[in-house]
Amino acid sequence: MKEVNTPSPAKNGAVKATLFALLAGVAVLSLMVENQHPHSWLEAHLPFFWSFFAFFSAIVLIGLSKWLAKAGLEAPPDCYDIPLLPSEEES
Amino acid sequence: MSIFIHPTLILLGGALLLPWVRGPLRTAYLLAVPLLALTAVLGNSMLNGNLATLTYLEWQLVFGRVDKLSTIFALIMALVTVLATLYGLHVEKNCEHIAAWTYAAGSLGVIYCGDYLSLFLFWEMMAFSSVFLIWFRRGPQSLQTGYRYLIIHTIGGVILLAGILLRYQAVGDISFTLMDIKEPQLYTWLIMLGFGLNAAVVPLHSWLPDAYGEASFNGAVFLCAITTKTAVYALARACAGMEVLVVFGVIMALYGLVYALLENDIRRLLAWSIVSQVGYMVAGIGIGTELAINGAVAHAVVHILYKSLLFMGTGAVLYSTGKTKFSELGGLYAKMPATCGLTLIGCLSIAAAPCFAAYVSKSMIIGAGFEAHQNWAAWLLMFAAIGTILYNGLKLPYFLFFGENRCSNTTWNKAGDPPLNMLIAMTFGAALCFLVGVAPGFLYSALPFATSYNPYTAYHLVETLQLLGFTALAFYLCRRLLVPKDVVYVDMDWIYRQGGRAFMWLVRHPLQWFDWAWGELYRSFALPLIMLVARFSSWFDWHIIDGIVDGFARTVRALGGHLRLLQSGRIQFVFFQVFALAALLLITLALFLVY
Amino acid sequence: MNQLLINSGFPWLNLLVGLPLAGALILLVFGKDTISRQLTLIITLVNALCTLPVLHGFDSSNTAFQFAHIYTWIPQLHINYTVGVDGISILLVALTTLVMPLCVLASWTYINKRITAFMVCLLVMESAMIGVFIALDFVLFYIFWEFMLIPMYLLIAIWGGPRKSYASIKFFLYTLAGSVLLLVAIIALYLHNGTFFIPAMMWREYGQLFQLLIFLAFFLAFAIKVPMFPFHTWLPAAHVEAPTAGSVLLASILLKMGTYGFLRFCLPITPDASMLLATPLLWLSIAGIIYGGCTALAQQDMKKLIAYSSVGHMGFVTLGIFVFNLHGLQGAMLQMLNHGITTGALFLCIGMIYERNHSRDLAKATGLGPYMPWFATFFTFFSLSAFAFPGTNSFIGEFLVLAGAFAHKPALALAAVPGALLAAAYMLRLLQKVIWGGVNNPDQSKLSDLGLREILVLAPLLLFVFWIGLGPQPFLDYMNPTLNELLQKLHEWQQGQQGMSLNWIF
């Protein structure tokens, strides 16, 4: 029998709040830390640069992969087993 | 110790003797052999130079070239052999262990060799023993997959051989060193392609997800570490600094991650991840600076550590449930807590979380890219790092261990933590990932070039935390989009898989027909011609020649018949005939005498 | 006759030719089925042992023909019994005497009717085959060459498979058709030179057209024997229908006579024509390599598969010969040996399956591995050798041939590379099917593994697979002086003569 431990909504909410707080904390930390060797202008001057970079890159990647999947990469699991020609034999 | 002990000999000898080791001794033996090999590698690490040479025909073969590059690779290969053997300790069939050890032996041979001829020997040894690790899965697809794997690797081997021969003819020796990359010739490209196929460089990469997704649960641990990293070693040795490798590497990093993000099979996802991570290494080799090569080597070492851990974890899922698809799994943390925890460490490692493995290596490569002014490459690799966090740090654990439970009842009942040896192996792997993450000094001191790189700067730490945190946020918001579906994703192998079937059809039907027809020429043309001539001769013989002979014979017989009549027996006739004959003779004589 | 080193010791070569013949006569007169096998085995083993003193006493630094004998035979026509060995022929003689006892052992239970007659045929064949390799008089050579046809024909026609009459006649007619022109060429050379002594005909000034015609006449005979594409169609039929011993002799020895002919006759006697026609012959070899590989891939009959693979392998040999450099010639010579050993071994293995299954169909022989482990081991190693896996004999042979081809013309060598790939493909397919099969393997549990006799048959061949693969130097030492001299003379000829030259556009 499957047992699904669903935590109570209150617990869920507490966890979420903690995580968001941590995220905000990290973002604030980024403002305080000095970059010794910035590799690019963006990095050196834009606040919260890496946060934005991460978030938008992730969105782009997810979107790109879904688009590619729809564009033809997806196929049914037995796509290689459909015979090419009627006179097909073993390998 | 000042003598070079080749670990390949230990592993091959161990493999050969294994069938005779039985009973309780077997477990100890299975552990002892790879440990002995590891000890040999540790002993060899004190040495330096070209050792263990052999003269073969007109060539000098070098079996023991020891320097920092080969030592570090040999160490990690020997280490992963120990871990993987421990992981598969309970496998009963000897042939599986023999194949795995031969495979590792081939890899160590390549790493320690100093000439192309022995490299080729060990290269083929690797290909032919690793295919068994796929066949031993004994699934319905395993046979075909293994056969495809073998053909592709043979093609790679043949390309490599062509390159070696051309180079030998051009340069005059077979030593395995850095090639002249400033002026690449045909042989440079061929050798690079031969190595690149094993490193799963796009577009020669499709064999990897195909084969590794189909490997046995413990074979996959060997496979994920050995072939590709040995190829990385070979590229680092012979092709360091080839600019085109940067392009290839970046393409690999991005290509692999797109497929990994979509993939439904947990081990195919990891296989695509290999393509992606090896892309980092290949790009590092292409950049070619000291920092870049260091980064590539370091990344290879940590990659072996965390990838083997990840394959061990997913292998455990396969081992207990028999399933590998996300769409048939999920929510397994409740039934497999230890596996879940240890695999999570692997996921954190690959995501380059601070205190874990890839944190100390990935940034070396990216930093080297920026320093060498290959900014576009560095930014794209950074972009790919986000992707890595997405599919491997977030998607894999979430949809496999947490989240919605899509298991069938049977699967759920079967799920459970694997046997002790597998857990111990995973624990060791996880511990090493953590260790190398918090104390990278050990790793850095073993790298080919001296380095003072420090990944634990405050900036780097915060940068990584931002990356992790905000990618996680994006994932959380889009998690519905990434729910795995029971589909497959076609890749370039579609071309040659369908092409291969078409080729076989071609060979079997039109070509066979042609050969049959050509042979039939004898039967339908030459033979009837000969027989026609023969029949004509026979007719001629019978009717013409024999006709003459027979006719002559008939005439003689007729004559004889007539002559017989003359012998009727009556005296008068006889006298008449005698006198007639005598008169004829006398007249003839008279006439003759007169004239 | 300074090319000959007259033998002053024991007449080993005469013994090698004469002993099997004497044995055949004894068997004909006194032979009974019960003892004929043992007697033949003893004779062939003695012959094999007698090759050892020849190998040992062979002076590798001397390029003259050694252990030679000359006896006057028909003085009016200048036909003598002249025999001798040099670096090329000694290894082929050794191959012949090695393979013969193995053939006898392999036929121990395979042949069960008219055993005496079979053994007589084998002995006569051995005599003729050795004679071909050691003959230094053209007429003697031709006699031995034709002499082989009758016993081979009988081997196929009496003890062969279902279509034996078709295959045996086809083999006979094909080979005979080739040799007819050979006789014409021999006579033409005699009329030009006044002698039948082969070394005296080499490196002579013949007219260009004469050389060309002689070469073409030789070429036809030898190309059919090799077999080169497109003269190969007799091979699948003959191999498939012949009994195991017949197939082994065909593959191991008879095919080598064609390439031996190229090395011994075409190159030294008609060098201009050889160099002129080298390029088309090289491409013909490539065609054979690729074609043999493709057709082998499509086969369901195991013997036919190996037969077509022979076409491919011999393509490598002719490729090595006509690139005219040391690596190519070394590789070609080595591949002659290797092919004899490996393909002979594969035919022996398939014969062992046939004895158990009574079928050559691949589909009936799948999944043998778990029930016949010894067989699986031997078969695996021989298959690895067949596609030139490093460490085996064929690897070093193919490596040298490719090295020679690359030095001559890289495009040629690159064209040959897919052939190596095809070889891997069809051999792996065969190996994988036979050992593991698929999901619908027939029930092989009743099959017995190899017995002692069969292991004794395969073991020496396996030994040579690894000996030549890992330590080929001794074998190369035998052939190097002769090959070096051949090449040197060829290059001198090239510089000295203004031979016909065509600039082939490819």
Q: Does residue A85 carry a pLDDT above 70?
A: no
B552: tokens are: 């002559």
Ranges B268-282, B574-588, C184-198, most confident: B268-282
Percent of chain B with pLDDT over 90: 37
Q: Which of C171, C174, C421, C427 to mutate to test the interface with B (most CBs of B within 10 A)?
A: C421
Tokens 């790189």, located at residue? B453
Q: What is the CB neighbour count within 10 angstroms for residue C32?
A: 10
Q: Supply the Cα-derived Rg of chain C in whole angstroms.
A: 22
CB B156 within 8 A of CB B125: no
Q: Does residue A86 carry a pLDDT above 50?
A: no
CB contact under 8 A, B165 and C399: yes
Average pLDDT, stretch C143-169? 90
B503 to chain A: closest CA residue:
A91
Residue-by-residue DSSP string for B515-553: HHHHHHHIIIIIHHHHHHHHHHHHHIIIIIIHHHHHHHH
Helix H, strand E, coil C: the string for B37-74 is HHHHHHHHCCCCEEEEEEEECCEEEEEEEECHHHHHHH
Q: Does residue C385 carry a pLDDT above 80?
A: yes
Task: Specify the pairing of strand B59-66 against strand B488-489.
Answer: unpaired
Q: Which sign does the torsion angle of CA C463, C469, C471, C476 carry? A: positive
Q: Does A1 map to a domain?
A: no
First to last CA, chain B: 129
pLDDT tens-place string over residues B200-220: 998 889 899 989 988 888 899
Report the mean per-residue pLDDT for chain B: 87
Q: What is the CB neighbour count within 10 angstroms for residue C85?
A: 28
Domains identified in chain A, total number: 1
**Contact list, A74 vs chain B (CB under 8 Å):** 262, 485, 487-489
CB contact under 8 A, A77 and B486: yes
- Among A2, A52, A68, beta carbon nearest to B405: A2
Average pLDDT, stretch C166-177? 87
Cis (ω within 30 of 0) for the bond into C227?
yes
Listing from the earlier edge strand, what are the strands of the sheet with C65-74?
A: C4-6, C65-74, C79-85
Q: Which residues pair with B175 in a beta bridge?
A: B115
- Structural domain boundaries in chain C: 277-496
pLDDT tens-place string over residues C1-51: 457 777 777 888 899 999 999 999 999 888 788 888 899 999 999 999 999
B95 to chain C: closest CA residue:
C370
A70: tokens are: 């729809």
CB contact under 8 A, C298 and B135: no
| Closest C-alpha to C237, from C303, C288, C154 | C303
Report the mean per-residue pLDDT for chain A: 73
Helix H, strand E, coil C: the string for B460-499 is HHHHHHHHHHHHHHHHHHHCCCCCCCCCEECCCHHHHHHH
Ranges B132-146, B576-590, C492-506, most confident: B132-146
Q: Does residue A88 carry a pLDDT above 50?
A: no
Dist. CA B104–CA B73, nearest whole Å? 12
Report residue B536's pLDDT band, with 50, 70 and 90 as the boundaries. Answer: confident
Residue predicted with more confidence, A10 or C347: C347
CB B82 within 8 A of CB B38: yes
Q: What is the CB neighbour count within 10 angstroms for residue A29?
A: 14
**Contact list, B261 vs chain A (CB under 8 Å):** 61-62, 65
CB C36 within 8 A of CB C24: no
Q: Supply the Cα-derived Rg of chain B in whole angstroms.
A: 40
Interface of C with B in 363-382 (CB under 8 A): none
- Burial class (CB within 10 angstroms; exposed 0-12, middle 13-18, buried 19+) of B28: exposed
Q: Give B430→chain A minimum CA distance, Å.
A: 25
Residue A82 at interface with chain B, using a CB cutoff of 8 Å:
no
Ranges C333-347, C422-436, C480-494, most confident: C333-347
Within 8 A by CB and 6+ apart from B299, the residues are: B277, B280, B281, B284, B358, B361, B362, B364, B365
B118: tokens are: 């022995």
Q: What is the ipTM of this complex?
A: 0.82
Residue B472 at interface with chain C, using a CB cutoff of 8 Å:
no
| Closest C-alpha to B255, from B399, B372, B394, B380 | B380
Dist. CA C428–CA C433, nearest whole Å? 8
**What's the pLDDT at C2?**
58
pLDDT tens-place string over residues C487-501: 998 888 888 765 555
**Contact list, A65 vs chain B (CB under 8 Å):** 258, 261-262
Dist. CA B467–CA C27, nearest whole Å? 91
Q: Does A89 map to a domain?
A: no
CB contact under 8 A, C403 and B150: no
pLDDT tens-place string over residues C405-420: 998 988 888 899 888 8
Interface of C with B in 146-205 (CB under 8 A): 166, 170, 174
Rounded to 10 deg, the angle between the C473-496 and C87-106 helix axes is 140
Residue-by-residue DSSP string for C317-355: HHHHHTT-SHHHHHHHHHHHHHHHHHHHHHHHHHHHHHH
Q: Give A57→chain B minimum CA distance, Å.
A: 6
List the single range of B187-191, B541-545, C362-366 with lowest mean pLDDT: B541-545
Give how far Cα B541 sits from Cα of B432, B547, C487, Å: 96, 8, 54
Tokens 């460089």, located at residue? B201
Q: Does A78 map to a domain?
A: no
- Among B470, B489, B509, beta carbon nearest to A73: B489
B133: tokens are: 């690790």
Interface A:B, Cβ pairs < 8 A: 139
Report residue B487's pLDDT band, with 50, 70 and 90 as the boundaries. Answer: confident
- Structural domain boundaries in chain B: 498-591
Average pLDDT, stretch C136-155? 92
Give the number of C-alpha atoms closer than 13 A to the C-alpha of residue B403, restricted to the C-beta side: 22
Q: Which residues pair with B55 in a beta bridge?
A: B60
Average pLDDT, stretch B176-180? 85
pLDDT tens-place string over residues C298-313: 888 899 999 999 999 9
Report residue A89's pLDDT band, with 50, 70 and 90 as the boundaries. Answer: very low
A66: tokens are: 């879904």
Report the mean per-residue pLDDT for chain C: 89
Report residue C504's pLDDT band, with 50, 70 and 90 as the boundaries. Answer: low
CB B369 within 8 A of CB B285: no
Dist. CA C156–CA C238, nearest whole Å? 7
Amino acid (one-letter) located at A13? G
Residue predicted with more confidence, C207 or C140: C140
Give how far Cα C415 sits from Cα of B188, B346, C289, C320, C402, Å: 19, 47, 10, 14, 10
Within C436-451, where are the H helices? Answer: none
Give how far Cα A66 sits from Cα of B251, B263, B384, Å: 19, 11, 16
Give how far Cα B574 sits from Cα of B381, B566, B578, B582, Å: 134, 8, 6, 12
Dist. CA C242–CA B474, nearest whole Å? 73
| Closest C-alpha to C67, from C75, C59, C78 | C59
Q: What is the per-residue burial (b if ≥16 Cβ within 10 Å, else e) of B544-577?
A: eeeeeeeeeeeeeeeeeeeeeeeeeeeeeeeeee
Average pLDDT, stretch B303-325? 92
pLDDT tens-place string over residues B1-43: 468 889 999 999 999 899 888 888 899 999 999 999 999 999 9
B171 to chain C: closest CA residue:
C407
Residue predicted with more confidence, B316 or B409: B316
Task: Specify the pairing of strand B488-489 against strand C65-74.
Answer: unpaired
- Burial class (CB within 10 angstroms; exposed 0-12, middle 13-18, buried 19+) of C114: middle
B520 to chain C: closest CA residue:
C233
Q: Which sign does the torsion angle of CA B471, B472, B477, B482 carry? A: positive
Please tell me whether residue B201 adopts helix, strand or coil conformation: coil
Length of chain C: 506
Dist. CA B425–CA B82, nearest whole Å? 9
Interface B:C, Cβ pairs < 8 A: 80
Cis (ω within 30 of 0) for the bond into C280?
no
CB B343 within 8 A of CB B215: no
pLDDT tens-place string over residues B546-569: 677 777 778 888 878 777 766 666
**What's the pLDDT at C340?**
95
Dist. CA C374–CA B421, nearest whole Å? 34
C352: tokens are: 């062992």
Q: Which of A42, A51, A52, A65 to mutate to test the interface with B (most CBs of B within 10 A)?
A: A65
Residue B124 at interface with chain C, using a CB cutoff of 8 Å:
yes
Range of the domain at A60: 9-33+44-73
Dist. CA B498–CA C464, nearest whole Å? 40
Q: Give C5→chain B minimum CA distance, Å.
A: 29
